[in-house]
Amino acid sequence: MLQISGSVWVLTIGVIVGLLALDLALAAARPHAVRFREAVAWSVFYIAVAVVFGLVLTAWAGGEYGAQYFAGYILEKSLSVDNLFVFAVIMTAFAVPEQHQHKVLTFGIVAALIMRALFIAIGAALLNLFSFMFLLFGVLLLWTAVQLFRHRNEDPEVQDNGIVRLARRTLPLTDEYVDGKLLVRLDGRRVATPLLLVLLAIGGTDLLFALDSIPAVFGVTQEPYLVFAANAFALLGLRALYFLVKGLLDRLVYLSTGLAVILAFIGAKLILHWGHTVDNRVPEVPTWLSLAIIVVILLVATIASVLKVRRDPEARAHAGSLHERSREAERAARPRADA
């Protein structure tokens, strides 16, 4: 087991918090529409930070732990692209102005990190106490994979989000965005702006993604430090990645299918690991093979998407959903599709 001192934890969290603070400071100091060159520069920076961390970890802790970190990072990075799909759906549904999208994405990353840190702590404690949790996590991922594959050509019902519905019923709301503010004074009383609804929708989405991604990353490493680091560094570059690829997201038509296959594979890996704890004759999937399979699935999904769009330029990708769209949502979406 990887032994991590308190000072290493503090240093790692300090670096992550510092990078988040930089993001927040930039968003608050100069709200603007992020252009392609800026997005490229920040994306390269965050990927470089993650890779350097992995190389330092490998030199310090050994190749096995380094491979586990990189497998977790690539897995979380691929799952975070599905986050971007949903973020794009939310931005479109609420017509978020470009100059405020930077702030929304930064909030989404902060919320995701907090929720995942909480679930990592809970998940690690459960796995240490009860080995059968590997079986439960594996079954959860298999169920998620099946649902995502079944509804791979759908988008989540953002406007039907329970948190958003509750906010609409309980909060006084204005129809206009006001200088990136969450609350404004109107006719002598405080009212919420649509930006608050957007942040609530993002937070609710982050919660759902955390429930899926944490069991998945525990499938490639059971080290809480590596799970946290892989999640943190994958999420830190999410804001820049969104502005870099948002014009290409609807071209990745087989991404949801690829992610469903990856989740099914990780689910099966967790079940095999549980079986190995019961009977050591049950085989386990080594880390290097997990990493190779994840990379191959992502490459196949990406290449197949490119070929599909080349043959059918009208083909569009969807974020995928874990639930079938309600009839009300179908009726609401139909006029827009026909327009």
Phi, psi angle pair for 185, to nearest 5°: -95, 125
**Above pLDDT 90, what percent of the chain?**
11
Using one digit for the tens of pLDDT, what is the confidence trace for 126-185? Answer: 887 777 888 888 898 898 888 888 888 777 676 666 777 777 888 787 878 877 788 888
| Mean pLDDT, residues 303-314 | 88
- With a cut of 70, say whether residue 336 has pLDDT above it: no
- pLDDT band at residue 115 under the 50/70/90 scheme: confident
| Mean pLDDT, residues 58-63 | 91
Q: In the chain, what are the helix, strand and coil shares in percent, each to the nearest 5?
A: 75, 5, 25
- Can you give the pLDDT at residue 303? 92
pTM comes to 0.76
Phi, psi angle pair for 190, to nearest 5°: -80, 130
Which range scores top for mean pLDDT: 47-51, 269-273, 335-339?
A: 47-51
- pLDDT band at residue 50 under the 50/70/90 scheme: very high
- Can you give the pLDDT at residue 31? 62
- With a cut of 90, say whether residue 234 has pLDDT above it: no
Q: Return the number of other C-beta atoms located less than 10 Å from residue 297's C-beta.
A: 18
- With a cut of 90, say whether residue 218 has pLDDT above it: no
Strand partners, 186: 189
| Mean pLDDT, residues 103-118 | 80
Using one digit for the tens of pLDDT, what is the confidence trace for 195-207? Answer: 888 888 887 777 7
Q: 48: Cβ–Cβ under 8 A, 6 or more apart, which residues? A: none
Q: What is the DSSP string of 34-102?
A: PPHHHHHHHHHHHHHHHHHHHHHHHHHH-HHHHHHHHHHHHHHHHHHHHHHHHHHHHHHHTT--HHHHH
* Nearest alpha carbon to residue 97 among 202, 205, 198, 177: 177
- With a cut of 50, say whether residue 334 has pLDDT above it: no
Contact 151, 320 (CB under 8 A): yes
| Mean pLDDT, residues 73-89 | 80
Which range scores top for mean pLDDT: 76-90, 254-268, 316-330?
A: 254-268
